[in-house]
């Protein structure tokens, strides 16, 4: 069975804009080039929750953007739902939903429903499909009673649920989540993790690729975890496989993370 996501030596270099002086400093910069992601090889199975851990600036968000076709790779290949991110951008976009913590993506003076209607139009859904899908995602996320409230009045947790609702409108097979529980309180974060595991993956059979800084979240939620540092994948596997690769039986994920990112 083909993988939901597969990369082959996926690489992204950035050439800084001249004239920025000390602002160009970067730990991975060599000869004027920032190596944000380098020779990344990962395979994500269909229907699994795949976690990506790494220090700040390690390349997590860049990798997510490459897989979402938001930026183009410098070299290497990536396939999402069988589509090549360079040759089949439309196929990739039809297959994925993207969840971020960026509130700027929404219109604060519109209601939650009006926001969803706007984005549904961008997804090329018909009027009948828009009404149907908004109803379905609202029921799934239990937010129907909040959709007629202005976005600016939402709590942080509700804003995140609306972001998830937006990503689900086209009913994607694969979800990319960039730190989905960031800024959420412990109860809201736990509820979101339960929703991802029980509703999205177990019931709807979606594949979830997420980045996180939370070790407990990754350990609780993810089937497999990749650790990225300085743009390179240092290790990938289940917790037991990572313990074996680190040579530290019974190690916590935090200990494993420290082992691979300090080398």
Average pLDDT over residues 148-152: 96
pLDDT at 94: 93
Task: Give residue-wise pLDDT tens across range 16-25.
Answer: 766 554 544 5
For residues 21-38, give the mean pLDDT.
Answer: 65
Fold of 46-71+93-225+233-261: Rossmann fold (3.40.50)
- Other C-beta atoms closer than 10 Å to the C-beta of 1 total 6
Across the chain, what does the average pLDDT equal?
91
Domain ranges of the chain: 46-71+93-225+233-261
- pLDDT bucket at 109, cuts 50 / 70 / 90: very high
Whether 239 shows a pLDDT value over 70: the answer reads yes
The per-residue pLDDT for 182 is: 85
| pLDDT, tens only, 48-68 | 999 999 999 899 999 999 999
Instruction: Report, as an integer, the average pLDDT of 192-202.
Output: 94
What pLDDT, on a 0 to 100 scale, did the predictor assign at position 31? 58
Whether this prediction's pTM lies above 0.75 is answered by yes
Distance (Å) of CA 25 to CA 7, 34, 58, 128, 180:
28, 9, 15, 51, 29
Residue 121: pLDDT band (50, 70, 90) is very high
> Do the Cβ atoms of 227 and 233 come closer than 8 Å?
yes
Residue 184 has pLDDT above 60, yes or no: yes
Rounded CA-CA distance 150/163 in Å is 14
């Amino acid at each position: 069975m083909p993988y939901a996501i597969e990369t082959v030596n996926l690489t992204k270099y950035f050439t800084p804009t001249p004239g920025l002086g000390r602002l160009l400093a970067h730990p991975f910069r060599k000869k004027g080039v920032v190596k944000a992601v380098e020779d990344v090889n990962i395979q994500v199975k269909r229907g699994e929750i795949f976690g990506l851990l790494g220090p700040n600036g390690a390349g997590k968000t860049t990798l997510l953007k490459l897989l979402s076709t938001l930026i183009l790779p410098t070299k290497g290949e990536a396939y999402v739902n069988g589509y090549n991110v360079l040759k089949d951008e439309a196929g990739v976009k039809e297959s994925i939903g993207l969840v971020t913590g960026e509130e700027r993506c929404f219109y604060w003076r519109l209601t939650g429903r009006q926001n969803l209607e706007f984005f549904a139009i961008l997804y090329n859904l018909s009027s009948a499909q828009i009404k149907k899908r908004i109803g379905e995602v609202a029921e799934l996320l239990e937010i129907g009673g909040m959709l007629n409230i202005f976005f600016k009045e939402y709590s942080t947790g509700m804003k995140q649920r609306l972001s998830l609702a937006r990503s689900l409108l086209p009913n994607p097979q694969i979800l990319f989540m960039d730190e989905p529980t960031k800024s959420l309180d412990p109860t809201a974060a736990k509820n979101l993790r339960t929703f991802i595991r029980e509703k999205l993956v177990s019931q709807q059979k979606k594949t979830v690729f997420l980045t996180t800084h939370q070790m407990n979240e990754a350990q609780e939620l993810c089937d497999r975890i990749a650790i990225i540092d300085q743009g390179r994948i240092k290790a990938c596997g289940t917790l037991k496989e990572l313990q074996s690769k680190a040579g530290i039986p019974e190690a916590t994920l935090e200990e494993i993370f420290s082992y691979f990112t300090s080398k």
